Amino acid sequence: MAENTETVIAPLTLRRRLRALRKMAGIAWRADRAGVVLTVVFGLVASASIVRILAVKAIVEAAVDGDTRGAAIAVGILATFGAVDRINNNYGFQRRAILQERNDLAVDRHLMEMSAGLPGLEHHERPEFASQLELLRQERGMLSNIVSAVYFLFESFVRLIVSMVVLASVAAPLALLPLFAVPSIIAARAAWRIDARAKERLVETWRRAEHVYGLATTPGPAKEARLFGLREWLPRLFADDYRHGRRTWVGSRARQLGLETAGRVFFGLGFVAALVLVASRAAAGQATAGDVVVAFQVAGEVSFQLATTVNSLAWFGAVLVVAGRYLWLTDYAERTASATPSETVPVPEKLTDGIRVENVDFTYPGTDRPVLTGADLFLPAGSTVAVVGDNGAGKTTLVKLLCGFYEPTAGRITVDGVDIAEMELPEWRKRMSAGFQDFVKFELLARESVGVGELDALDDVKTVEDALHRAAADDVVPRLAEGLETQLGRSWTNGAELSGGQWQKLALGRAMMRSAPLLLVLDEPTASLDPDTEHALFERYAGAARRVAETNGAITVLVSHRFSTVRMADLIVVVNDGRIVESGSHQELVQQNGLYAELYNLQARAYA
């Protein structure tokens, strides 16, 4: 099947902005409905703070007129709204913090579910996707700010409108004062665009700086960093990237500040003109003392409110940019889901024929060079198949296609005659198990690190122990202080660090948690072990695989570049430069005197 061509990040149009806003608001609503409602109420209450200014006007005019009763009422109103405003600010802040926390959890969980739920790995292979995902990872905290951004934007607009009405009641021309903020808004939008472009340009720089920082500070690279004398070179490389990033960022900020300053200076001219107008009207007897107080206070607040509105718009725009990246990920997940056939074929309970690779080509996304070309292969039900070849020949790619991590660029792969693409991939993978060379070090309890291979049996100690026994990893657990309940990883309090071989044995145990998979893939799972141990383990796995195959026709695929360890396989497949060049039993391939025989003899002499 052809690869997905919808890979370009779509521009953040108005329509997409609205979609992103609806999606994020929906997450916030589901996370904390009461918090969303209360946030709206708090915004309305905060917007009514203009009443305090009107109360001050009433106090001034009552004092001028000698109206004691009117002054007392105005003071009471001022005190009441002051208290309400104080309560609203304190409790509102706390309630918004709770909403933010719940929304953070909902967003992070949804991101994890979507990213882990994508059936394939294509998005990990594209640099532009990696950049967008990295930006989303760095800024995901802003996704939960959507309610706060809307809240402050709404509050700012309401206050601005009320202020315009009050100013118009003093003198109609004063209502035009907010128009002087239009350049500020335009400047803020331009500054936001400069900021967004700077982030896009710098994402690769920051990613490399973070990678280099990890090389210098994490245990994994420590040996080579010291061996090759990288103590000064790595910090220098980090500093170069950091300085380049900072120069670009400072330049961007300087342009933003220049635009914002110009917009605010223009508004300042309008503000001064408004004050002159009010003062002249008061001198002519066309305005009361209360009008003067209100005009000065509200005009001053309009300046603050406009700045707040401009900042809120910029913040809102920045949140929508991050939401746009989030929207891309959700769209990608939805497109992937929609590409799945609406009516899938059930995964067979047992294999009767086998797995066929039919004229398969495959090219990794974002590259032009095919990794597999014209691959034709039949894996008979109940067989143990060894895939051998030099590093980079295409062995692991073939395994990834069998697991459904990618779809072939051309051709198809069938299970008992049914195309894998017509099956529900999660169900197919439930009937598989695998151990990979680049295994994951799950820094969990030892029981959990193995047990995640079959979540339903995660807490079943007997099942975990049996899996470790099948993986010939019985010797790892007795060396742990608390056995299967030992926390793994030195980065944790009392965590146990394991050797590479021990981690690999736990990964093999994880692969053995499913005792009767239809397809078991072992992709160089013993790379950290010596050849003799690998050979003994492969013989053990092959024997166990044949016993399982008698009941469900299971196929075991062993991938290795060590030819001497796979002689027991029923079928040996030789991959070279992306092509399947030979297949047959060990004896058949040796008799053919082809590539397999040549490489086998070379390795045999090397180990002799």
Domains of the chain in sequence order: 14-338 (1.20.1560.10), 345-431+518-608 (3.40.50.300), 439-516 (no CATH)
Q: How far apart are the first and last CA of the chain?
A: 46
Q: What is the pLDDT of residue 222?
A: 72
Q: What is the pLDDT of residue 130?
A: 65
CB 449 within 8 A of CB 506: yes
Which uninterrupted H or E stretch holds 359?
strand 354-362
Q: What is the pLDDT of residue 6?
A: 40
Rounded CA separation 221/264 (Å) = 51
Full DSSP string of 545-582: HHHHHHHH--EEEEEES-GGG-TT-SEEEEEETTEEEE
Based on its alpha-carbon atoms, the radius of gyration of the chain, rounded to whole angstroms, reads 34
Query: DSSP 3-state assignment of 388?
Result: strand
Q: What is the pLDDT of residue 424?
A: 83
CB 174 within 8 A of CB 168: yes
Q: pTM score, two decimals?
A: 0.65
Q: Across the beta sheet with 384-388, what order do the strands follow?
A: 432-436, 519-523, 555-560, 384-388, 571-576, 579-584
Q: What is the pLDDT of residue 356?
A: 95
Q: What is the pLDDT of residue 326?
A: 81
CB 404 within 8 A of CB 347: no
Upper half-sphere CA count for residue 74 (Cβ side, 13 Å): 18
Taking 70 as the pLDDT cut, the residues of the chain under it are 1-12, 43, 46-51, 53, 64, 123-134, 144, 223, 227, 287, 289-290, 299-301, 303-304, 307, 336-342, 526-536, 564, 604-608
Rounded CA separation 191/175 (Å) = 27
Q: What percentage of the chain has pLDDT greater than the value 90?
A: 16
Upper half-sphere CA count for residue 455 (Cβ side, 13 Å): 1
Question: What are the tens digits of pLDDT across the range 397-408?
Answer: 999 899 888 889
Read off the tokens for 114.
């979507």
Which uninterrupted H or E stretch holds 83?
helix 68-117
Question: Which DSSP symbol is given to 174?
Answer: G
CA distances from 335 to 3, 5, 119, 390 (A): 12, 11, 11, 36
Rounded CA separation 538/312 (Å) = 63
